[in-house]
Chain A
Amino acid sequence: MTQHASPPRDSTGKVPSAGAAPGWRGLMARADVRTLSLLGVLAALIVIGGITKPDEFLDTRNLQLVLTQGSVIGVVTVGMTFVIISGGIDLSVGAIVALASVWATTVATQEYGFAGILFTAVIVGVGCGLVNGVLIAYGAMVPFIATLAMLASARGLALQITDGKTQIVTVPSVLDLGERDAYVLGIPPLVMVFAVVTIIGWLVLNRTTFGRRSVAVGGNAEAARLAGIDVRRQRLYLYLLSGLCCGIAAFMLVILSGSGQNTNGNLYELDAIAAAIIGGTLLSGGRGTITGSVLGVLIFTTITNIFALNNLQSDVQQIAKGAIIVAAVLVQRRTASTT
């Protein structure tokens, strides 16, 4: 009887909404409430920025600036989102970015030019991710502890490599990527990398078996194991992925700052976790979106930008950042519970 009562379905199995809903509204209806509330916060920030500093804020250059400044931490956050969705945590992201960026900018590495720097940054990132992954997946270490240990040792190694000195990049092809001349149709290359990483991250999470397994491991690791998923291998891959994102971010940071320094990536772990959390990722795992995390990053970067444009000092910025985290989580919980 119930079969007769249910509406007809199209080939994809979705229940068509009543009447010919325009595509836009259909999209809005499907987008989840959290994403909409984040877009609301971002819109409110844009209004605030536009009112307080209309000339400086609503400016193509400023848009390029905000996106560029968000792109390095953004790439790190995409990797972190996967790790948190799987029920883990990666406290070592900032330290890995530091280590990868200094290793990639030593005099010896710079001799190999663009490819040498890129290759080194990525390999160091992946290598650190591998160590994290092996310790967590096969050494049965708690992610918090394993990545905390990696944080300490990667920072230490970075300091040892640099000896506290700033390593200036002298490879023109790397430096050029951070200049205005490299913008394509007004889009900075770093922003393009961020966009590509975001899109790939979204596709991997939502359209691939890898993404499904990550969510399953985070939602219920025991159920995933008993369903035949190789939970340990999945965990290994997840930390590798986070390390890879750190390596890419390190290369981006080298382009952006034109140097490598052991203090690079300072507190990235907290920024990335905060962005993922306000983006709606469950710290206990099993739920999260790339869209939310990226919006989280953009919200933080936009706040920093508005504060700087209005010449507000770092004390106020820090207080506001804390307040935003609390407010965003509260707003989300509210909107989620009323629907």
Chain B
Amino acid sequence: MAPEPPLLSMSGITKSFPGVRALDGVDLDVQAGEVHCLLGQNGAGKSTLIKVLAGAHQPDTGTIRWRGEEVTLRSPIAAMRLGIATIYQELDLVEHLSVAENVHLGHEPTAAGFVVRGKAARSSTAQLLERLGHPEIDPARLVGDLSAAHQQIVSMARALSHDVRLIVMDEPSAALDPDEVDNLFRIVGDLTSAGVAVVYISHRLEEIRRIGDRVTVLKDGRAVAGGLPAKTTPTRDVVAMMTGRNVEYVFPERPTTDATAGKPLLEVRGLARHGEFEPLDLSVRPGEIVGLAGLVGSGRSEILETIYGARKPSAGHVLVDGRALRPGSVRAAVRAGLGLAPEERKAQALLMLESVTRNVSVSSMSRFSRGGWIDRAAELGAARAATRELSLRPDNPSVPVRTLSGGNQQKAVLARWLLRGCRVLLLDEPTRGVDVGARAELYAVVRRLADEGLAVLLVSSEVPEVLGLADRVLVLREGRVVHTAPARELDEHRVLDLVMEGSPAS
């Protein structure tokens, strides 16, 4: 089929870290002009593989061939010189420099070897931005002032400012709105038609269907399938290869008894924050899961954080068991039995340098201490019981929390609140960064906690998740609840219509 050698050919790549074999003999072929998708659960080895490709990690064994010739990618600069550019998920831009300065960072156009020609840098940046469909971004603006989507565009412009032949994109659509995603796909199309290869990493199968040519699936550091046709391989097969099992019952069944009969545990009355969301009423009963559906910017996370006391409301009250909480006090909320699993787990919930035990026990320290003195055996025992109840893996709470996968880190956060004896659980994007197989398990955990009498308030940007998991759904648009209904009376289509259509009043 291929008369020429592939643009990139990695074979038998292994890479070990202390205690972990991250890559175990991975092969990857990429042809010029194709979109090669890389799929795999968190911890499957995707990140390590692209870091090897970017020259940031050196493989222990294995060979890399570039246009048929064996090469060693000693450093990111070496990879860049060959024409390999990487756009990381966590954008590596300098916030206090301008767009043009970021794009040309490290290879500024200069006069006499050291005087930066700002004007030249700005005009070439403007050309790149135009090519990327965003001529409205001013090359002179500071990157820190741009939206996440625009920052991504700048990151891409930086990659294209080099003479690239292969671009690695690590979950580029994660921070983007639907129309931004369309623009991204157009750019990918332009690149491939110009003969540039794209290695595309995403959790979203439908994206892979739309733009992918071939798929390589990674699992546990091995390539379980290489070069499958992206458009025709059945979804179920792909998921099965990633998770190693069939995913038929992704969502747990709802209980048959009607929870709406009970007295509300969490009540929100007229809660509002200027400029973020308008006065809101809602109630959650024990055993009930209430979902908030809405797009980015609809005020979902802000609502959750205000209920939790992390933001101070401009009006309204939060009541637990009929008693009003002191507004704007996290401690009051926690004391009343609220627990939050925030959207940004690493930044907002986890102590990354600490063990699972300490992450789990941090909100319940008074339970294992007398006069401030911690009974560490009791602490470990309780942490183990809580993590076992959620089947957290590995089954050793002494390991550092940073070594866990995304799903297990989320379980550590849930175990924290379980141990605290929390009665109202606020979940903000509970499956972000969690792979498909682990999601089902998390859904089951959440449902079980509700069955045990917890009131759960769920926020998610993935409509199927809200519909599948919640009992009742509130649809949000621009900080306002536009519709409330039992989940079984709604479908994805209807919710998307509600979320996107212009409000009748305007």
Contacts and interface: CB of A to CB of B under 8 A. Distances in A.
B380 A12 contact: yes
Contact of A208 (B18, B348, B369, B381): B369
A207 B416 contact: no
Contacts of A15: 396
A213 B369 CA distance: 13
A223 B347 contact: yes
Nearest to A231: B330
Contacts of B187: none
A286 B349 CA distance: 14
A281 to B, nearest CB: 12
Nearest to B371: A208
B350 interface: yes
A224 interface: yes
Contact of B381 (A2, A6, A13, A207): A13
B69 interface: no
A208 B373 contact: yes
Interface in B345-389: 347-354, 358, 362-363, 365-366, 369, 372-374, 376-377, 380-381, 384
A208 B370 CA distance: 9
B308 interface: yes
A230 B350 contact: no
B353 A286 contact: yes
A15 B395 CA distance: 12
A219 interface: yes
Interface size of A as a range: 20 to 34
B377 A11 contact: yes
Interface string A188-213: 00000000000000000001111011
B199 to A, nearest CB: 29
A208 B373 CA distance: 4
Nearest to A219: B351
Number of chain B interface residues as a range: 35 or more
A215 B347 contact: no
Given A13-B380, A228-B334, A230-B331, A208 B395 contact: no
A220 interface: yes
A6 B395 contact: yes
B338 to A, nearest CB: 9
Interface in A286-319: 286-287
Contact of A223 (B351, B365, B366, B381): B351
Nearest to B393: A2
A3 interface: yes
Contacts of B372: 208-210
Nearest to A210: B372
Given A13-B384, A212-B362, A219 B334 contact: no
B181 interface: no
A215 B362 CA distance: 11
Contact of B330 (A13, A209, A226): A226
B381 to A, nearest CB: 6
Given A207-B374, A223-B351, A226-B308, A212 B394 contact: no
Nearest to A204: B372
A31 B374 CA distance: 20
- For B334, B363, B372, B381, the residue with the greatest tally of chain A CB atoms inside 10 Å of its CB is B372
Contact of B351 (A3, A13, A225, A286): A286
Given A224-B362, A227-B363, A6 B350 contact: no
B363 A222 contact: no
B340 interface: yes
A224 B393 CA distance: 24
B172 interface: no
Contacts of B241: none
A252 to B, nearest CB: 26
A215 B354 CA distance: 9
Contacts of B347: 220, 222-223
A207 B378 CA distance: 13
A274 B352 CA distance: 25
Contacts of A6: 395-396
A3 B395 contact: yes
Contacts of A223: 347-351
A207 B366 CA distance: 13
A220 B349 CA distance: 8
B420 to A, nearest CB: 8
B342 interface: yes
Contact of A229 (B362, B377, B416): B362
B335 to A, nearest CB: 8
Contacts of A210: 372
A339 B17 CA distance: 10
Q: Which of A6, A11, A228, A339 has the most CB of B within 10 A?
A: A228
A209 B380 contact: no
Contacts of B250: none
Nearest to A7: B396
A279 to B, nearest CB: 16
A216 B351 contact: yes
A209 B310 contact: no
A230 B366 CA distance: 13
B351 A228 contact: no
B390 to A, nearest CB: 14
Contacts of A208: 369, 372-374
Contacts of B349: 223, 226-227
B395 A225 contact: no
Nearest to B350: A223
Given A11-B377, A209-B372, A219-B354, A225 B394 contact: no
A220 B366 CA distance: 20
Contacts of A12: 376-377, 380
A339 B395 contact: no
Contact of A216 (B362, B376, B398): B362
A201 B262 CA distance: 51
Contacts of A212: 358, 362, 365, 374
A225 B18 CA distance: 32
A209 B373 CA distance: 6
Contact of A228 (B342, B363, B398): B363
Given A224-B362, A226-B340, A226-B342, 12 more contacts: A6-B396, A13-B380, A13-B381, A13-B398, A210-B372, A212-B358, A222-B347, A223-B351, A227-B362, A228-B331, A228-B420, A230-B331
20 contacts: A2-B393, A2-B395, A6-B395, A6-B396, A12-B376, A207-B373, A207-B376, A208-B369, A208-B374, A209-B366, A209-B374, A212-B362, A216-B354, A216-B362, A222-B348, A223-B347, A227-B334, A228-B330, A228-B334, A287-B353
Interface of A: 2-3, 6, 11-13, 15, 207-210, 212-213, 215-216, 219-220, 222-230, 286-287, 339
Top 7 nearest A-B pairs (CB, nearest first) are A228-B334, A13-B380, A219-B351, A209-B365, A208-B372, A227-B363, A227-B362
